[in-house]
Amino acid sequence: MEFNIALLKGDGIGPEIVDSAVSVLEKIGEKFGHKFNFTPYLIGGCAIDAVGKPLPEETVEGCLKSDSVLLGAVGGPKWDSLPGDIRPEKALLGIRAAMELFTNLRPAKLYSALKEACPLREDLVSKGFDIMIVRELTGGIYFGERGYRQGKYGLEAYDTECYSETEIRRIAKVACETAMKRGKKVISIDKANVLESSRLWRKVVHEVAEDYPEVTVTDMLVDNAAMQLVRNPQQFDVAVTSNMFGDILSDEASQLTGSIGMLASASLGETKRGLYEPIHGSAPDIAGQNKANPIATILSAAMMLRYSFDLTAEADAIEKAVDLVLDSGLRTADLVGDSDTKPLSTTEMTAAVLERI
């Protein structure tokens, strides 16, 4: 099979980690008989330097013509003094909007080899955990009506949580379809004991679940979910929730894994085309020094294979290779901690993954 992938390397360590992921995809192509065509486009600070804007039209057009998009990172102190509407980070919102991406898939997996880095007690994570948070990305309180008005105590500000049946239905469908590729269990997180928007959320999620009889769907209030993530993270397989709740809970879950350098993500819409990126930033302090951990970007590429291209065996091969690398005790600088382990460079870690595919 042949696929066209747009590369948005971006700023800081972005080019280094994207190059690592490209090497892994090329290896997968050789092993499984696929061809991946890569086309680079400008985004973020490097785009500002080159053409004066963080998201050039050519980049948008290229992404829309591609089968999927792999993003590194954007931003850095060089561009911090620019106005908000032309800062590098503005490009992220722009490309997500242009690609009509309404779902964010954010996995949080504790690798057995990294259990000591988890802040939870060993008895709570002895069996590890593998959570996929499915966050609604373009609705809810972040996009609702907002403003200022005179209230009972004078000037007050307001933000409105609003969800339509259509928005809930499509994110619930993504959650169920994601669960079908995993443990076939969905926990829908809401605040239905207080919020009308959550009551509609709960109703629609269960309507959608009727089309997926193999998937078990249960409900959990968001405050309880926040507690359960640190009390018993192993109970979660797929968790689906609103924009604001997902924003908060996915950050909480990410801290349980021990290193942000291990975490991938995917943003998806109605089509198979998605935007895949590590959740860490551009790390300008180590840019160009061959020190960055490429694993999050490599795992983002694996997510692309799984969710956009339906290449399950190929995605499994990458994820298994990462497991083997970690089990062998190999670490980049961010994973070494206080141990005497000699850290691998970006290229050395990439080579180690390639060797095990």
Catalytic residues: 142, 191, 223, 247, 251
CB neighbours (10 Å) of residue 198? 23
Cα-trace Rg, the chain? 20
Is the separation of the CB atoms in 280 and 265 below 8 Å? no
Conformational region of residue 44, where left means phi above 0, alpha means psi within -120 to 50, and beta covers everything else: left
- Total residues found in the chain within this entry: 357
CB neighbours (10 Å) of residue 4? 14
**Start-end of H helices in the chain:** 14-32, 45-51, 57-65, 90-98, 165-180, 196-209, 222-231, 243-255, 295-307, 312-327, 333-336, 346-356
Read off φ and ψ for residue 5, nearest 5 degrees: -120, 125
